[in-house]
Structure 1
Amino acid sequence: MANPNKQKGTAWESLIVAYLRDHHNDAAHRNAQMGRLDIGDIDGYYLHAVEAKAERTITLSSYIAQANREAVHAGQPFGCAVVKRRMRGAADGYVVRDVATDVRLMNRFRDAEELLREYQFDVWFEHDAHHRESV
Structure 2
Amino acid sequence: MANPSKSKGTAWESALVAYLRDHHNPATRRNVQMGRLDIGDIDGYYLHALEAKAEKTITLSDYIAQANREAINAGQPFGCAVVKRRMKGAADAYVVRDLATDVRLMNRFRDAEELLKEYKFDVWFEHDEHHREAA
Structure 2 letter corresponding to 1:132:
R
How many residue pairs get matched? 135
Is 1:87 aligned to 2:87, yes or no?
yes
Which 4+ runs in 1 deviate beyond 2 A?
none
The 1-side partners of 2:116 and 2:134 are apart by 20
Query: Which residue of structure 2 aligns with residue 32 of structure 1?
Result: 32
Structure 1 letter corresponding to 2:25:
N
Structure 1: gaps (5+ residues): none
The 1-side partners of 2:54 and 2:6 are apart by 10
Deviation at residue 134 of structure 1 after TM alignment: 0.4
Which string of whole-angstrom CA distances, capped at 9 and with x for unpartnered residues, describes residues 17-58 of structure 1? 000000000000000000000000000000000000000000
RMSD: 0.2
Query: Which residue of structure 2 aligns with residue 115 of structure 1?
Result: 115
Alignment of 1:1-135 (within 5 A): 1-135=1-135
Percent sequence identity over aligned pairs: 84
The 2-side partners of 1:103 and 1:49 are apart by 17
Deviation at residue 9 of structure 1 after TM alignment: 0.3
The 1-side partners of 2:85 and 2:133 are apart by 26
Give the secondary structure class of the aligned counterpart of 2:39.
Answer: coil
Give the secondary structure class of the aligned counterpart of 1:79.
Answer: strand
The 2-side partners of 1:53 and 1:44 are apart by 17
Deviation at residue 7 of structure 1 after TM alignment: 0.4
Structure 2 letter corresponding to 1:72:
I
Deviation at residue 90 of structure 1 after TM alignment: 0.2
Give the secondary structure class of the aligned counterpart of 1:55.
Answer: coil
Structure 1 letter corresponding to 2:6:
K
Deviation at residue 106 of structure 1 after TM alignment: 0.0
The 1-side partners of 2:109 and 2:121 are apart by 16
Deviation at residue 122 of structure 1 after TM alignment: 0.1
